[in-house]
Structure 1
Amino acid sequence: MANPNKSRGTAWESAVRDYLNNALELVDERGVFRDPFNGMNIRRPAQEGARDIGDVHAVPFILECKDVKNPAVPTWLRQARVEAINAGFPYGVVVHKRRGLGVRAGRVHFDVRTWTRTRTALGLSTRAVVDRYGFTTTVRGLDSGRWYLTTSVANFAELVHDVREVSARAAR
């Protein structure tokens, strides 16, 4: 019998991947990739070697997916940062499942540095990003390394779309 925690985690990773592919219109009504060779498709990479490269790749984000009852967000964010570096991606975030709610209600956590870099890449003010993507802030003590910003998976899908659009425009 498979490890139930691993099975639950794999199911959450797959649900996040499938939701984002649908929200970004990368799959058809049957869930089949419109272009299987598109590097922008959301994927669950096979883990190779000793260095973890994240649970889900949503260019330019590495997603560390967590389906656990007791959150440890600052620790998870440090893990996501390392995995983004290992995978060669600029941003690492955490996607935490909310019990009894659908994928779109999952929580996406950004550390302050990643959130600021994303906001800067979008060319938006702090207020504009908070309003547009529904971010809330968690401040724990005086150590800003334990602070983080959170939005829903549904809002994160819009943010991924917008970051990709800005990057595509800049590349032209």
Structure 2
Amino acid sequence: MRNFLNAYLDLVDDNGVFRDPFDGSNIRRPAQEGSADVGDVHAVPFILECKDVKNPAVPTWLRQGRVEAANASFPYGVVVHKRRGLGVRAGRVHFDVRTWTRTRTALGLSTRDMRARYGFTATVRGLDSGRWYLTTDLGRFAALLSDVRAGVTLRAAL
């Protein structure tokens, strides 16, 4: 996943070597720092909590992602769940409602445009909005990450 995102964002050459190893926008796996976990992958401004399990527990993972984003002082924490038997691009990227809304607002998109542009689907479980989340694939997340990093306001572009 880290390698896919670095390649998508053109941060590495054809051999997978960082073009600028000191560039803060490189996607990296940080060293863990004791009890204050800072997430599995840093893709500024997102912390990615990565999971490779058969039985998903997305709401629990999203809570973990929020805590780890706060520990690392990043504004957004999301979860990436590997889909077994499929390529890395097909991995599922889950956003809690608050993170999705903040990202959508930063991009200047309506709910409808955000869902269409990045292929999000919603999962609503009961009346507790803390268990609701929105999902896209890693390929579309890479495009969203690129747009967020560019500071793009897409409202005028649509």
Matched, 1:41 2:26: yes
Partner of 1:64: 49
Q: Give the drift of 1:50.
A: 1.6
Match of 1:130 in 2: 115
Q: TM-score, normalised by structure 2?
A: 0.95
Equivalent-residue separation in structure 1 for 2:25 and 2:142 (angstroms)? 13
State which of 17, 20, 30 in structure 1 corresponds to 2:5.
20
Match of residue 142, structure 2, among 147, 157, 167? 157
Q: Distance in 2 between matches of 1:48 and 1:147?
A: 30
Q: Could you tell me how far 1:48 is from its partner in structure 2?
A: 1.4
SS in 2 for 1:158: helix
* Structure 2 residues without counterparts, runs of 5 or longer: 153-158
Per the TM alignment, residue 49 of structure 1 is displaced from its structure 2 partner at its CA by 2.6
One-letter code of the match for 1:117? R
User: For the residues of structure 2 that align with 1:148 and 1:38, how far apart are their CA atoms?
Assistant: 32
Within 1, Cα distance between the matches of 2:20 and 2:132?
38
The one-character-per-residue Cα deviations of 1:84-106 (angstroms, maximum 9, x if unpaired) are 00000000000000010000000
The runs of 4+ residues in structure 1 deviating greater than 6 Å are none
What amino acid maps onto 1:122 in structure 2?
L
Q: CA deviation at 1:117?
A: 0.2
DSSP 3-state at the match of 2:93: strand
Deviations 1:26-84 (A, max 9, x none): 00000000111100000000001320000000000000000000000000000000000
Aligned residues between the structures: 152
Q: 1:54 corresponds to which residue?
A: 39
Q: CA RMSD in A?
A: 0.7
Whole-angstrom CA distance in 2 between matches of 1:28 and 1:68: 31
- For residue 18 of structure 1, report the CA deviation from its aligned partner: 0.5
Give the match for residue 112 of structure 1.
97
Rounded Cα–Cα distance in structure 2 between residues aligned with 1:54 and 1:39: 16
Question: Percent sequence identity over matched residues?
Answer: 80
Find the aligned partners of 1:104 and 1:88 in 2 and give their Cα distance.
27
1-side partners of 2:8 and 2:54: how far apart? 26
For 1:101-144, what per-residue CA distance to the aligned partner results, in whole angstroms no more than 9, with x for missing partners?
A: 00000000000000000000111111111011000000000100
